[in-house]
Chains A and B, each alone.
Chain A
Amino acid sequence: MTVHNYDPALIAVQVDNDEKAFADLRQRHFKARAKMSLENEQLRGSFLGATDFLQAKRRAVFPDTDELEQLRDRGEAIRQQSLAQLPDLLETLEKNLTANGIQVHWAETAEQACAQVHSILAMNNARTVVKGKSMVSEEIELNHYLEKQGIECLESDMGEYLVQLAKEMPSHIIMPAIHKTTAQIARLMHTRAERSDGQSVSYTEDVDELIGNARAILRDKFASADAGISGVNMAIANTGTLCLVENEGNGRMSTTAPPIHIAITGIEKVVADLADVPDLLSLLTRSATGQNISTYFNMISSPRRGGELDGPEQVHLVLVDNGRSRMFNHPQLKPTLQCIRCGACMNHCPVYARIGGHAYGSTYPGPIGQVVTPQMQGLDKQGELVSACTLNGACGDACPVRIPLPKLIRELRHEANSTAPASELDIPGKGSQRHLGEALIWKGWALAHQYGPLYRSITWVLTRGRKLLPHHLGAWTATRTLPVPAKYSLHDLARGAGIGEQPANRRLNEGEA
């Protein structure tokens, strides 16, 4: 056990400072957030270390690349087939869930989804809720909503619990508190966590003890909560089954201990058959954390039946759209919905590794966040995210269901700069990132590169006048020297060396310049 000499007042100040820094971070634009992250040495070190670690774990659990590629083919096919029949599958799902005694609710917007969860809770006089990890509930900001209605909603996934204590949001899909150091967690637990006897948790940086403390607190809550909320990893249409992948057992507790269970999911998570599950599950756990299988895999197919000793008396499923129908109808961006939320794309993203999840300012960070968030919140609000990518392709290579993430990001850049007339299928804020200056530069660039003689005159000036070029070029020269044009261009050198331009017969036929 490691107990440090500490000053409780100082610890409280540090926790407050962390929270202020986070609030400050949220206020800023993407660029400023990225800059703040880059300047935070500790953060940079921990993210780079974490992504290196997760990449290595994934490599180790897929030793056979052929097997991996075959599995990815199948994963992609299952997700694409499911999406191809999405409306039918959703109807079947509703029918079979209802037959199993699970109540189904549909929500078009985030607000509606929150209101539906609230009304289920209100009808049952539920005041306290324990939640298993659910990205959709983060997406619709459910905690915030319920808190305003006077309902206590406790996150029970260890990482989510910590970021909730810190009044932050997750910075990764699979490891929500990936950005926190042990000391920060120790401070948080000591100042913010409350034991059921009202005592505060003593300060310790011993990881086992920290987890033990949190577990003791959560156990009491599981036993006493009025309702449990969970996410869904896959919803099986033909059997009316909700599948939930987790490692800590908190998901099982949240979905069985309280008398009411509310599951919440995006409409895209449906697949046809139980037979679709094994491949997706294998891809999910291996890509996410490098585990062959997760510790728990829950399949929920009804509320407690007569004679059963445990399980909730009511099970509800809230199906959330929140922009997904629009993605579904967009010919180029539809693959966005293939996502199984494994987080592999961010683990392999060199930009994410350097700026961390909070810099993205959205529930979903990294490559998938750059694709999902602007489509949900609008290119006018989150359009800058699409420029935070070098299109290096590491994410697309890592994605277990082969979502062509770089292509989608490029497509979104096109949408963001589009001048095409608006249509119903448009992403909100289409064209909002188009700035006159940049558009003019591209027009000029196109002109310069479109006509051979003009292009050659420009490179002539560039090469001959290279001594006159400026020596500073914004961000580029802060950390790099400026490249200097050569004395003669390749066009000049090739012409000078008498290099031919076209095969002889063409030269005769077309009299090329």
Chain B
Amino acid sequence: MTSSPALPRVYPPKPSQVYLMGTCLVDSFDPQAGMDAIQFLQHHGIEVLFPQQQSCCGQPAFNSGFDDEARQVARQQLKAFVADIPVVVMMGSCAAMLHCDYARLFEGQPEEAQANALAARTFEFTEFVDRVLCLPPSPASGERVVLHTSCSARRSMGVAECHQRVLQNSGVEVIEPNRVSECCGFGGTFALKQGDISAAMACDKAEAVAACGVDTLVSADCGCLMNIGGTLAKQGRPIKTRHIASLLRQRQEESL
């Protein structure tokens, strides 16, 4: 769901502890990205906590109009991320769900205040790295990547620049495809409900990515990576996909 941020952003000084919200897609399909994020943050002296009770932010049901089901699942996250420390989220769209949409979901519910407090301490991964860690730039590595920023990261969270900056600061060259701000056509259940339109959008996006002539596509949204990456793979184009966290961790290890 895309909406303007519910709360003005207040960035805390670098904390000693954070929660990591892996998100359900990262959990099953790219868990290494989650581990990379954990190790990256640990390396910067932050203790990362990973509540085993966490599952999904509830967005798939919420965006489909099934509010009760979304709320049941979201309640579980309120319980999992209960302590008053930042929650770093591995995907822009799930971060947006917590940061922008829990307000609507819990409006008038007993957990309203708790949900608003959680929203205020929720940060998208690159946003946390860029705005809270504030790392100095590393020397150029010569690596070039194509960056795709998800619509939620760009519009709801407003962190497109954070994506760019953390990559550039880590020493990689960032290339953006044609029609950079256009949706890749994933949209959660949209890809299933309106398969033809979604496929047309994904194919156009894949073509724009391929036209960049670079062999790695990065994003901080697993859904977009699956959609664009899956399309590229089906077309037989040798472009691999990576979560930004994995790339940052790799650069960190290389410069150790």
A501 touches B49 (CB 8 A): yes
Which of B61-69, B133-141, B247-255 touches A? B61-69
B155 touches A475 (CB 8 A): no
Q: Which of A478-513 contact B (CB under 8 A)?
A: 478-486, 488-495, 497, 499-503, 506, 512-513
Number of A residues whose C-beta is below 8 Å from B? 77
Q: Which of A42-65 contact B (CB under 8 A)?
A: 44, 52
Q: Known interface pairs A34-B194, A350-B201, A393-B151. Does A449 touch B1 (Cβ–Cβ under 8 Å)? A: no
Q: Known interface pairs A463-B28, A479-B202. Does A512 touch B194 (Cβ–Cβ under 8 Å)? A: no
B234 touches A479 (CB 8 A): yes
Residue among A410, A475, A506, A512 making CB contact with B65, cutoff 8 Å: A410
**How far apart sit A418 and B53, CA to CA, in the bound complex (Å)?**
29
Interfacial chain B residues near A501, Cβ < 8 Å: 49-53
Q: Quick check: is B181 within 8 A (CB to CB) of the other chain?
A: yes
Q: Quick check: is B171 within 8 A (CB to CB) of the other chain?
A: no
Q: Which of A360-382 contact B (CB under 8 A)?
A: none
Q: Known interface pairs A391-B63, A394-B183, A396-B2. Does A491 touch B196 (Cβ–Cβ under 8 Å)? A: no
5 closest pairs, A vs B, by CB? A475-B195, A390-B187, A393-B2, A413-B65, A480-B230
Q: Quick check: is B177 within 8 A (CB to CB) of the other chain?
A: no
Q: Quick check: is B143 within 8 A (CB to CB) of the other chain?
A: no
Interfacial chain B residues near A410, Cβ < 8 Å: 1, 62-63, 65
**How far apart sit A387 and B190, CA to CA, in the bound complex (Å)?**
7
Which of B29-37, B113-121, B159-167 touches A? B29-37
Question: Measuring CB to CB, which residues of chain A are less than 8 angstroms from any residue of chain B?
Answer: 31, 34-35, 38, 44, 52, 350-351, 354-355, 387-394, 396-397, 404, 406-407, 410, 412-418, 438-439, 442-443, 445-446, 448-452, 455-456, 459, 462-463, 474-486, 488-495, 497, 499-503, 506, 512-513
Q: Who on chain A is nearest to B62 by CB?
A: A410
B69 touches A442 (CB 8 A): yes
**How far apart sit A19 and B152, CA to CA, in the bound complex (Å)?**
41
Interfacial chain B residues near A480, Cβ < 8 Å: 199, 202, 226-227, 230-231, 233-234
Q: Which of B200-256 contact A (CB under 8 A)?
A: 200-204, 226-227, 230-231, 233-234
Number of B residues whose C-beta is below 8 Å from A? 82
B155 touches A397 (CB 8 A): yes
B194 touches A31 (CB 8 A): yes
Q: Known interface pairs A475-B192, A499-B38. Does A494 touch B50 (Cβ–Cβ under 8 Å)? A: yes
Q: Known interface pairs A391-B2, A513-B53. Does A483 touch B226 (Cβ–Cβ under 8 Å)? A: yes
Q: Quick check: is B180 within 8 A (CB to CB) of the other chain?
A: no
Interfacial chain A residues near B65, Cβ < 8 Å: 410, 412-418
**How far apart sit A393 and B5, CA to CA, in the bound complex (Å)?**
12
A451 smallest CB distance to B (angstroms): 8
Contact pattern, B 22-54, Cβ under 8 Å of A = 1, otherwise 0: 101011111110110010000000011111111
Interfacial chain B residues near A415, Cβ < 8 Å: 65
A490 touches B191 (CB 8 A): no
Most chain B beta-carbon contacts within 10 A, residue among A350, A443, A456? A350
B197 touches A479 (CB 8 A): no
B81 smallest CB distance to A (angstroms): 9
Q: Known interface pairs A410-B1, A474-B195, A476-B192. Does A449 touch B55 (Cβ–Cβ under 8 Å)? A: yes
